[in-house]
Structure 1
Amino acid sequence: MATITKTQAGTYRVLIRKSRFGVPQLIKTFTRKVDAEAWARKIEGEIERGAWRDVGGADRMTLAEALKKYQTTETPKHRGAKVEGYHIKALKEEALAKTVLDRVTRGNVRSLCDRWIEQGYAVATINRRLTILHAVFECARVDWHMTGLSNPAEALKLKGATERERRVSSAEITALCDSSDSPWLPAAVRIAVETAMRRGELSKLRWSMVDLDACVTKLPGQITKAGKTRGVPLSPESIKVLRELLPAKKSKDEVAETSLLGGIQPHSITQAFGRAVKRSRAQYLADCAKSGVIPAPDFLADLTFHDLRHEACSRLAKIFSLHELMKIVGHTSPAMLLRYYHPDPEDFAMRLRDVAMVAASSMTSEVMP
């Protein structure tokens, strides 16, 4: 039987000893005696049925507290710490965040997902939040010694996340660069579409990582998403852009640790790109109205800086094989690379036509005397 004693503070302390069941001594304090008795009956019943789990404090820590602890101890280790922080902030504002970890169920999480869908959140955004929830519960279970805690976000991901297939035309790139108010964005855009480097990699690129004579950039693991060193070949166009950026009247040693893009931060690239898209689209619409031309609905519309990486992968795929391209762009699986490769059907048709023409020419030469 559980022992219930009244403390000097007027609360009720419950002590449960069930060592013969392999259960450690359990202690919990309640404001009301009726709650203490109810908890004692519940726990003793679970122990005797073999259903009790050692949640190690998960019945006292709320989801909001767990998210805060996770953000303090784990998030700083992640490359996408800033973006992850935004999602954690949103999760902490949910009503479910006030629930203790042990009471958060799979049904609760599913209901949360349904509400996010009704509110118009993208599937990709919801899946990112589910990934964070899964990581928080795993961290609590493994690192915070809440071994009996179940993970309500286990294997819970929404299907139907749309994969972007947006190609960026040369005309759009020119318009964006011409309308940008940033001294660094035009160079960032041109290098990105030629090399498939990520926004974060470009912002951290130093001249010491670039070999213009060998036409290659060596990205150290500290700045790549996968944490692995990667060599990126430089096209003649990217070499031209880099030579224009090269500081004048400075020695090689002075230039070595200088940022290529003047120390611009990743979020600043995104903001400058967004301004350039709006400005160039507005100019395009004005030019169309002036000349009486019907504007194309997708020209300079719905563009993100990351679309440049998609475009670069599709262009480089015409030159390099699958495994070579994976090494260049830093993808660890062919499946991931295929999400970035968006070929034009017209290119396939042209290749088929060329093959047919070669075959026809060969047959003609065979029948000639």
Structure 2
Amino acid sequence: MHHWDSLVSRLTSQKLSERSVEYISGTLRRVLRHAHDRGITDSPPPSGKKVGATAPTNNRRMRIITPEEKVLILNELKISDLQAWRITLFAFLTGCRASEAFSLEWRNVTANGINFENTKNSESRTIPMSTPLRELIASIATGAPTEKVFTNAHMRTYKEAPSPFRTAVSRLGLNEDRARLDCISFHSIRHTVATELAKQIDIRSLMDIMGWKVPAMALRYMHGDDSSKLRALENIQSL
């Protein structure tokens, strides 16, 4: 146990998140458990609870950006930083991960849609080209096939959420007196888009657009609708 205490203490001292500490120690414990099950080692590894490296109970952000807040943020960005406005609007129109917007190249943009390559789940996906999305893309000067679609005010590739986005949210006071998980971040855009889409499309379509491989992710956003349930029951009774 002493070695495990030292490991967790070292990871924590590096200011890693609880999730990262749990992931690293959990991976090592799974390797050692595999070795124990095959007789390579004598004793099984301790549980995450024993070594103080359990996953946080809930690290999901809960904040939904309201239509009014969306307008305020975009208006603020359009005045302060046009490049940040473009990538933020793109996120609102696609629900993509921030990393997918950062790495998007012009060869990934076609008349029919946007192709996100090498995504978080190692799969590519294409989303349809909506009219607002087409208008946004048309407003940006087209570059060479391997050039990035979105760059910051210094013509550099984004590595993290645009700082003007955080500045706008702060200036507008949208996170005042809010708990950490209830604050608006750039990721809140994806959470907001998924929530809105879940009200309008089926689970398979939601998974395709958001880039989820398992239904469990989409089911977080899918909620029953009483009026739809009633209509369905009425139809059954009328057969």
Bin the TM-score by the shorter chain.
0.7 to 0.9
**Equivalent pairs, count:** 218
Q: Given the alignment of the two structures, is residue 258 of structure 1 paired with residue 147 of structure 2, yes or no?
A: yes
CA contact (8 A) 1:185 1:273 kept: yes
Question: Which residue does the alignment assign to 2:72?
Answer: 175
Question: Which residue does the alignment assign to 1:220?
Answer: 117
Q: Given the alignment of the two structures, is residue 238 of structure 1 paired with residue 119 of structure 2, yes or no?
A: no
Q: Which has the larger radius of gyration?
A: 1
Q: Given the alignment of the two structures, is residue 200 of structure 1 paired with residue 99 of structure 2, yes or no?
A: yes
Equivalent residue in structure 1 for 2:46, among 125, 132, 152:
152
Equivalent residue in structure 2 for 1:275, among 167, 171, 184:
167
Partner of 1:255, secondary structure, is coil
How big is the alpha-carbon RMSD for the aligned residues of Structure 1 and Structure 2?
A: 4.1
What are the equivalent positions in structure 2 for 1:43-54 lying under 5 Å apart?
A: none
Question: Which residue does the alignment assign to 1:188?
Answer: 87
Larger strand proportion of the pair: 1
Question: Which residue does the alignment assign to 1:326?
Answer: 207
How big is the shift at 1:140? 6.8
TM-aligned CA distance change 1:352 to 1:228, over 3 Å: closer
TM-score using structure 2 length: 0.72
CA contact (8 A) 1:195 1:233 kept: no
CA contact (8 A) 1:313 1:329 kept: yes
Question: Which residue does the alignment assign to 2:13?
Answer: 93
Q: Name the CA distance, whole Å, in 2 between partners of 1:60 and 1:305.
A: 38
Question: Which residue does the alignment assign to 2:109?
Answer: 210
Query: What are the Cα deviations for residues 112-163 of structure 1, in whole angstroms up to 9, with x where unaligned?
Result: xxxx9xxxx9xxx4243212112244457779xx942643345873563154
Q: Which has the higher contact order (CA 8 A, sep 6+)?
A: 2
| Structure 1 segments unaligned to the other structure (5+ residues) | 1-57, 65-87, 95-115, 248-253, 285-295, 364-369
| Identity score, percent | 19
TM-aligned CA distance change 1:90 to 1:313, over 3 Å: farther
TM-aligned CA distance change 1:228 to 1:204, over 3 Å: same
How big is the shift at 1:234? 2.7
Q: Name the CA distance, whole Å, in 2 between partners of 1:61 and 1:310.
A: 36
Q: Name the CA distance, whole Å, in 2 between partners of 1:129 and 1:270.
A: 27
| Structure 2 segments unaligned to the other structure (5+ residues) | none
What are the equivalent positions in structure 2 for 1:1-369 lying under 5 Å apart?
A: 63=6, 91=11, 93=13, 125-138=17-30, 147-148=40-41, 150-154=44-48, 157-158=54-55, 160-161=57-58, 163-180=60-77, 181-211=80-110, 213-214=111-112, 216-221=113-118, 224-247=119-142, 255-262=144-151, 263-267=156-160, 269=161, 271-281=163-173, 302-339=183-220, 341=221, 348=225, 351=227
TM-aligned CA distance change 1:191 to 1:323, over 3 Å: same
Query: What are the Cα deviations for residues 295-333 of structure 1, in whole angstroms up to 9, with x where unaligned?
Result: x977xx721111111111122224431112212211111
Counterpart of 2:105, as a letter, is R
CA contact (8 A) 1:310 1:342 kept: no
CA contact (8 A) 1:199 1:266 kept: no
Question: Which residue does the alignment assign to 1:105?
Answer: none
Counterpart of 1:243, as a letter, is A
Partner of 1:266, secondary structure, is coil
